[in-house]
Chains A and B, each alone.
Chain A
Amino acid sequence: MARAIRRYGTLVGIIAVVLFFWISLPETFMTARNWLNISQQVSMLAVIAFTMTIVMVMGDFDLSVGSMASLAGIVAALAFKSGFPVPAALALALAVGLLGGLLNGVLVSYIGILPFVATLGTLTIFSGLAFLISDGKTIFGADIPASFSGFARGGIPLFETGGQMVSLPYLTLAALVVLFLVWVLLEHTVYGRRLYAIGGNAEAARLAGVRVRILRFSAFGLTGVGAAAGGLMYAARVASANPTQGSGLMLSAIAAVFLGMTMSEEGEPRVLATFFGVLILGVLDNGLTQMSVDSYIREILIGTIIVLAVASSSLSKLSQR
């Protein structure tokens, strides 16, 4: 019973929120344009939350994704500035994400530091690096190539309404591609099943022949790449890079995964459930902004949602005893 409430409660919550905004904003909310807009607004958060799911499957998490997103944006912008072609600059930024993620992996998996402590440390390191290499300044304007920021504004044209073209944004498409890749990785590969086994009981998994250390190490690397990708999408969207622009993403990404966990059968992180978690946060943000609700109140709401989601998962574990 409690389990059903937990599992379907979240779904009922989503529907209630959507209905509420639909009634409150009858003109603008329930339109294709607005939903595509929401999908674009949440795309960076989505990419980071999807890849965050990879480490959370093992029972770990990564607090450094927000500052890694900022750092990746700065690295790409500085590379543009010093004349790198766009693909090379992007590859460099993603490589920085991979290295940062693998650093987390070394700390957690080989040195044995708790993920909370290790990634809190690297959060600060990445953030400091972003400030250091950017001199604390925002990089914008002519330094950012048009092909980079143009990607974030572009999309695949779908249909015309009221004289305006409605398009599927490339950023949304990128997030869907990442969703598909992470879904295949976690649900349909040996690698993914082993990560779930580590989350189920790391010691038992190790004794049963799962190479726990290298898997944890590599999973953090993937989360780092995802954080960098999210940061690049953000930088493209605002056509600039500054050393703090990703910092809000970490908490929302963790909130999205926790929200998703409330919907999955065993209370495990599932990437398709994370998708719904992201959607809830995106819809709330969009609707409340349209209703001109103060952004601080939105913060209070997101914090409340995290606490409720985590509380419901620990309550369900208690009731199983």
Chain B
Amino acid sequence: MSYALGTTPVTLLSIRNLSKSYTGVPALKGASLEVVPGEIHALMGENGAGKSTLIKIIAGAVAPDRGTIEISGHPVSIDHPATATRLGLRFIHQELSVIPELSVAENLFLGRPYPRRLGFLADWSELNARARVALNALDITTIDPSIKMARLSTGDQMLVKIAAAFLDEGGEAAKLYVMDEPTAALTGEESERLFKVIIGLTARGRSVIYVSHRMDEVMRIAHRVTVLRDGETVATRNIAATSKAEIIELMTGRTIAEAYPARLSDPSPEPVLKVSNLTSARLKDISFELRAGEILGLSGLAGVGQSELLRLLMGDGKVVSGTIELKGKRLKRDEPAGRWAEGIAYVPRERRREGLLPRASVSDNTVLSHLKSLSRAGIFRNRRSELARATEFGARVKLKSVGPRQPVFQLSGGNQQKVVFARAVLGGPSVLLLDEPTRGVDVGAKYDIHALLRELAASGVGIILVSSDLPELIGMSDRIGTMLDGRLRGIADNANITQAALLSLAFGDNPAGMMSNISPQGA
């Protein structure tokens, strides 16, 4: 994007030689970062590179061991989150703290006195009017301030939080927003609206530190990027003067030739999974076939039914009508336990909430779905074979851990996800269901996961890949289905599909010729 910074911009935030160790293990080793007013500054690095620690220090949640922080040229000591707020720093996290049962306006003005009528009655119309003004200040015109927060999409909730943070707090106006993976849970369309608001912020002189694993977004909206690796600042580059390849190289310290690994073999014509007229409370009349060795991508806006479809295939949720056949055998109603036994494996969307036993070991997490097959006589656990298999499949997914006995909460996000993958792969499944498998996963781990998917497909596993990361869908899928309002609108071959075409399909258009085999009920 084109932009011009002022000729001699005053540095807004200047961080020099920041170091921090946790019980002797260094998380930051002399990291530096400079942010000028009005810029979007991307902060990138693999999981464990030190981004989170750096942000926690700026937020006043963690005290640094060494190093200096200056704001507008004045040295500051951010010893408490309230200090950060007073200094004009605002933090937008992917997990939003909103109160869903209160209105948008109440969420905006949380913790401030409400406008009153007769001295004690809340003046709702005045409150809503002020909220309208606050939202309009950032050109957020599509959100009604009087509705409940719960009715907004995740993306719109984030916009409300940004607007709330834009209001003066503690006597100091917002100067710098720190956004940590803000688009992780957003659809393409919601992300677009977020970008518009972010760019609007910078037009009003605010700066943004933008943390993201999504290279395309960074290339599109950021002015500069600072890359961290192993707790140190590797480089700061102008986006206009760098490339994705260079950033990846800076992050990993190695060259990754291709963003996505190449297909190892073609899918077989044999269907492994056949879904016919599947209907539930949320899903309507879904039919498709998944071939052995095929990666079938599923796209669509958030919440149109992709996750529900995977859950339903996994035996979670009530099927109203329709059938699921695995290798020609009709599956009966059952819990996820029965599906695992049939050879369907699942990587759920929310790794921490739905995927892992955080305090349990790598081994216990890996073998969880296979305790019976690894046991003696189906009753007594066989600890030795559990550890052996966990080690074997940890290596298969290129897991980096101290050993199979390490608790998983100590691992980075990417390695936690690899544990979930090791579990899914261990039983030798014939179908693998993946819901956002690389969300919040660093570039290196993402590549490892993609390479694993290619290997599995080559060995005949049928894979359904739900992802809101369009480059990933296009880079990995053999065919891509698009869902809209609980229906499968059709499945397109991935020969020459584009991101733009996928997006317009998700919104309900059908660009000519794109959807070669629209299923009849979806048209």
**Which residues does A use to contact B, with CB under 8 Å?**
188-194, 196-197, 200-201, 203-211, 266-268, 320
* Cα(A209)–Cα(B378), bound, Å: 15
Chain B 409-432 against A: per-residue CB contact (8 Å), 1 yes, 0 no?
A: 100000000000001000000000
The smallest beta-carbon distance between A35 and chain B, in angstroms, is 33
- Shortest distance between the CB of A200 and any CB in chain B (Å): 3
B369 touches A190 (CB 8 A): no
Q: Are A204 and B356 in contact (CB under 8 A)?
A: yes
**CB neighbours of B339 from chain A (8 A):** 209
Q: Which residues of chain B are near A320, meaning CB under 8 Å? A: 409
Q: List the 6 closest pairs (A to B, CB-CB), nearest first.
A: A200-B357, A209-B340, A209-B369, A209-B337, A190-B371, A208-B368
B164 to chain A, nearest CB (A): 25
Tell me the nearest residue of chain A to B23, going by C-beta: A1
A200 to B348, CA, bound (A): 17
Interface positions, chain B 341-397, Cβ under 8 Å from A, are 341, 346, 348, 353-360, 364, 368-369, 371-372, 375, 378-381
CB–CB A194/B360 < 8 A? no
- Residues of B with C-beta under 8 A to A209: 336-337, 339-341, 368-369
Instruction: Compute how far the CA of A206 lies from the CA of B339 in the bound complex, rounded to whole angstroms.
Output: 11
Give the contacting residue for B353; candidates A193, A200, A203, A208; CB below 8 A.
Answer: A203
Tell whether A210 pairs with B358 under 8 Å between CB atoms, given A189-B379, A190-B371, A204-B353.
no
- Min C-beta distance of B371 to chain A, whole Å: 5
Knowing that A188-B381, A207-B314, A209-B368 touch, tell me 6 more A-B residue pairs with CB under 8 angstroms. Answer: A193-B371, A197-B360, A206-B316, A208-B336, A210-B368, A266-B359
Q: Give the complex CA separation of A268 and B358 in angstroms.
A: 13
- Report the separation of the CA atoms of residues A197 and B336 in the bound assembly, to the nearest whole angstrom: 15
Q: Provide the B115-126 mask, 1 if CB < 8 A to any CB of A, else 0.
A: 000000000000
Q: How many residues of B contact A (CB 8 A)?
A: 31
Q: A207-B316, A207-B336, A208-B340 are in contact. Are A193 and B357 (CB under 8 A)?
A: no
Shortest A122–chain B CB gap in Å is 26
Least Cβ–Cβ distance between B273 and chain A, in angstroms: 18
If A205-B368, A207-B314 touch, whether A190 touches B353 (CB-CB below 8 Å) is no
Do B381 and A200 touch (CB < 8 A)?
no
A315 to chain B, nearest CB (A): 16
Interface bits B293-306 vs A (CB < 8 Å: 1, else 0): 00000000000000
Q: How many Å from the CB of A212 to the closest CB on chain B? A: 8
* Complex contacts, B354 vs chain A, CB 8 Å: 203-204, 207
Residues of B within 8 A of A268 (CB): 359
Q: Indicate if B335 sits at the interface (CB-CB under 8 A).
A: yes
B30 within 8 A of A: no
Bound-complex Cα distance A192 to B423 (A): 19
**B409 / chain A contacts, CB cutoff of 8 Å:** 320
Cβ contact within 8 Å between B372 and A211: no
Distance to closest chain B CB from A121 (angstroms): 27
- A190 near B380: Cβ-Cβ < 8 Å: yes
Hey, which chain A residues are within 8 Å of B357, CB to CB? Answer: 197, 200-201, 204-205
Give the CA-CA distance A192 to B371 in the complex, in Å. 11
